[in-house]
A = this chain, B = another copy of it.
Amino acid sequence: MKITTVTKHFKTPLYLESGRILEPYDIAYETYGELNKDKSNVIVICHALTGSYHAAGLYEGDRKPGWWNDLIGDGKCIDTTKYFVICANVIGSCFGSTGPMSLKYPLNEPYRLRFPVITISDMVKAQISLLDSLGIYEVYAVIGGSMGGMQALCYAIEYPHFTKRNIIIASTYATQPWAIAFNKVAREAIIKDPKFDSGMYDVKDIKENGLNGLAIGRMSGHISYLSENSMQKKFGRNYVETEGLYELFGRFQVERYLDYNGYNFSKYFDPLSYLYITKAINIFDASRNYDSLEDSFSNIKSHLTLLSVKSDQLFFKEEMEQIQKSMKKINKGNLVDYHCIDSDYGHDAFLVEVEKFVPYISEALK
């Protein structure tokens, strides 16, 4: 599989939904496979909150491959001998695309809290400008899970002729208060960490030592990514160490998991990016600029494949079903395939039990 990693610099302005302008801006992206002559084999992959452009392949020296490596590759479900797959880091993130810690032109110092509010539509708009710069004006499919699914839905509504297939996984039509509440815990933990210092944190220190608030926020996120059953199976009530008589002072396995993942995460993800991206997720509402969800969906011309997860505790399957319902209401039920994946893994299922999604994604790509 041919992998190319690029950071592309744009000198043209990106007009944001807020009315503000990003200019200049960068988009970091990765491609897998090769673009065919008539540019008809493009699949766009949209990543989730903390994901990056590195969706597949193993870098030299790395222990873990890209986040959807089980799905994307030569001979795999998203077959890179056949498709040209592209995954761009969303603007606002911290893996190469312009985000809050990028240098603000012409000041030559980071935006930090001066960075504009970004929406899901803005993320998609940036991707469209990237594809445009590559001479790609329509694609074979757009696929995304979680926040990636919001982008895939946004493509269908705002760029109805751009793609024929939108595969939306473990996502929602509008972020509900339950998910906003989990984000709230994280956002509050970050903002109230004295080391966050109103966004003026010491980057070197954060990279070395992490930010407690971000670690705690990540723990809150992890709860919502799992499910009661997956936690039960994975950790039970097992202790990992005991310090005193009996087990009274011990640490539970689930606590070690959250510690490890939380503090590790806080060393490589940028706290301001976390704030900006969770904000984008919170304000996502596919009907926001329309009278209703149905009104918004009336634009849709492409085929939607909706894959929910039965045990998803972040974006409940009922939210995905609402998309189908609203499409049916405007007599576009024929454009929708909906499947609920029977997995105990909760929201994370689309990353950890990829094999259960493969048949439906394969079918959708036919």
Contacts and interface: CB of A to CB of B under 8 A. Distances in A.
Interface in A241-263: 244-249, 252-255, 258-259, 262
Nearest to A117: B248
Contacts of A180: 237, 252, 254-255
Nearest to A289: B246
A185 B185 contact: yes
Contacts of A248: 17-18, 117, 119, 279, 283
A65 interface: no
Contact of A178 (B194, B220, B228, B247): B228
Interface stretch (A68-76, A104-112, A150-158, A169-177): A169-177
A192 interface: yes
The oligomer's copy count stands at: 2
Contact of A231 (B19, B177, B215): B177
A283 B245 CA distance: 13
A189 interface: yes
Contacts of A237: 174-177, 180, 285
A216 B245 contact: no
Interface in A176-207: 176-178, 180-182, 184-185, 188-189, 192, 194
23 contacts: A17-B246, A17-B248, A117-B244, A117-B248, A117-B249, A174-B237, A176-B228, A177-B254, A178-B223, A178-B227, A180-B237, A180-B255, A181-B222, A185-B216, A185-B223, A188-B219, A188-B259, A188-B262, A194-B194, A220-B220, A228-B316, A248-B279, A252-B282
Interface of A: 17-19, 117, 119, 174-178, 180-182, 184-185, 188-189, 192, 194, 212-213, 215-216, 219-220, 222-223, 226-228, 231-232, 234-237, 244-249, 252-255, 258-259, 262, 279, 282-283, 285, 313, 316
Given A117-B244, A188-B258, A192-B212, 19 more contacts: A176-B232, A177-B231, A177-B234, A177-B237, A177-B252, A177-B253, A178-B227, A180-B255, A181-B223, A181-B258, A182-B223, A184-B219, A184-B252, A184-B258, A185-B185, A188-B219, A192-B213, A194-B194, A216-B216
